[in-house]
Structure 1
Amino acid sequence: MVNGLLRWAFGFVLVLVLPALGFASEEGAAMEPHMLWRVIDFVLFAAILYYFLRKPIAEFFRNRKESIVGEFEQAKRAKEDAERILKETEEKLKALEDEIKRIIETFESMAENEKQRILAELELAIKRIRASIEEEKTSILSKAKMELLKNLSEETIKNLRERFSNLTPEEHAKINDKFIRSLQQ
């Protein structure tokens, strides 16, 4: 310990006293007489400060070192925790992305099934409409045929009445005979 104190004092003197001596030698060749006493005072003052403050300063630096080491360890743990949380979050995010893909695929499948169902219902509705149109068309055609037959019959009857009304009694008898013979056969 004494060795350390002497080394420290010698180093302190070299660091502080030699520049002062150099400064003094630049201003003049001779050094002031009380300059040596000032240096001695300063060295004694520094030695007393060292003696009384070395333990508190050493304790301060030791505590500071322990505090820094503790903070470093705490920061290291915090970094490890953050990395672990980041890794867990990335895994959860990946799982979430996979879940989203699965849900999208499910909805796309459901949408495709719904599309096919709607198309099938539409096709069935189209067939029903076509069948209904065909029935209506057939009904309309039947009605038109009936109407046409009715009109044609009425026209034929009208024409026959006109022809028969202009027939002579001999022509009537001839037609009746012909009709009776056709029924007998």
Structure 2
Amino acid sequence: MSMKDFDSLVGIWNEQKTSPNINYKEVINHYKTNRSKLSFKFLLEILAMLIAFSVVSYIFFTIEFEFWTSYVGLILVNICCIYFIAMQIINLKNIANSNTLFDKPQDHIQFIKEFKKSRYIQHTRNYKVYTFVLGLGLSLYFVEFFYRLNLAVMITVVAATIAWFVICYLYLMKIYIKKEEKRFNDMLTDLERLNEQFSDEV
């Protein structure tokens, strides 16, 4: 390496060392924005699933079915609704109770990492079980209509339902996971930038 190249390398290093500190307020506001959006998304999903639960419950108690499979199917669908609502309430509560950002930044970073891992498990392993139970519930519910609807209509309904499950599982869920992972990564990036800056100043 020539002396000129060495001087250039030293200059670049010095520029990096003397770069201005990050704007704490900007980073924290960005972190809080992502956190608020995540909480709001959970809240909307809870409300949407409460509506679905109410509709299914209304059908269960107001319509008389000929086959017991319809009642079992609706119960399974509502179990899925209850599970989803319960998980989102827990997620919402965890975010609301995570107040270690300023007291223990390292603990808060660890909390976000564990929360991210937990959500990924919910989206993958738990979602497979959720989809199976929901699909089983709808299948039992459709038994009633097999004897009431025209065969062509029944085939169309079943095909549309299967297509929707496939689209959700193979496409929409991947987009959902990708967006949430990005939000978690943005939050972790903000926290780690703050933590590194604090560590440099100590």
Common fold, TM-score beyond 0.5?
Answer: no
Asked which structure has the greater CA Rg, the reply is 1
- Structure with more helix by fraction: 1
Q: Relative contact order (alpha carbons < 8 A, sep ≥ 6): 1 or 2 greater?
A: 2
Bin for the TM-score computed over the shorter chain = under 0.3
Please report the TM-score for the alignment, with normalisation by the length of structure 2.
0.25
